[in-house]
Structure 1
Amino acid sequence: PVDVDNHADRACASALEMVAILNRLNPEFRREFGITLDVGIGINTGEAVVGNMGSRQRFDYTAIGDTVNLASRLEGLNKVYRTRIIVSENTKRSLRGAFLLRTLDMVIVKGRSEPVRIYELLEDTPRNRALAEEFEKALSEYMAGRFESALILFEALSLRYGDETSGVFVKRCREMMENPPSDWKGIYTAREK
């Protein structure tokens, strides 16, 4: 592997480009084959062991380590949050360029005990900027345990923007209102890989 100074920026730019290309191809896939494709990308920044692994007879060029495991967990969380690109706090701190990140949650992923703040990487458009800003207000209410006011805000976002992630939080708020947690700390524990 070659060390690259702005690896976090390159990873985020590549992920956005992958989503843009898929968005351009999906109408053709729908017409030709009656299907659309989706993608889930997890980006984390940190140290990893990278290179050829295995024996002389059988080896594979791969990356291993805690950083890689967390990126894999983030990729899987896209299904939970109905998103396409999730990045970690470490990646956010490493970014040099201007990228639009929507704060998603504080989450404990499978295999870890400490929570990680996660973000959705979005295409930087006026609509997405407004969505991210309004979502932040709803998320703040949710994190503070004010589930009724958070519910109202998430419902409005879901309707106004057709935002599936807000729909996820609408469901969560309703669950929290039915069974209020006694020790709420604003941290979600993911059960999925």
Structure 2
Amino acid sequence: DLYDDFSANDVVLQLDSTKQNLIICGSLNETFGINIVKALSANKNYVTTAVGMPTWDGLKELDKNNCGGINLVYSTSYNYPRNLPIIKNITQAYTRKLNARPSDMFFKGFESMYHFTSLLIAHRTNITNYLSDKAFRVSNDFVIEPLKSKTDPTKVDYLENKKIYFIRKIDGIYK
């Protein structure tokens, strides 16, 4: 366990130089996660993988030299490989129209709106049974399942996307 005011030495004391180390950072505090990766990067004698939260996806700080040499792994519900033809076409159209590169947030919004609006048009009265349908897939699969109420198993509390992707990066490069 580490507290917000940890030092690099506090991290190193948890590592073993004879083994592959796995550090799990379950904090949404981005500064905390960056500081862990910096501490690991400063100690090259330890082979380490740091597993973080989905918020690590947008942290440019993790791509800098003072965070280098560490395998980073984090999860996301979305993955947009830039070499997919559909992603290339959307990127080109966006760039032509707005003279800018679309962000991942744009792709998330576009895909969600396209997928679920198309499903709603196709299955107006019974959309709940088709939320995981791949007919209107852009880049990601949705595996949406109902989560039942703990107090009344006949009722659905909410719907959850069970499909996640694990992203692996080292030195700012996706692996």
**TM-score normalised to the size of structure 1?**
0.27
Greater fraction helix: 1
**TM-score normalised to the size of structure 2?**
0.29
Larger radius of gyration: 2
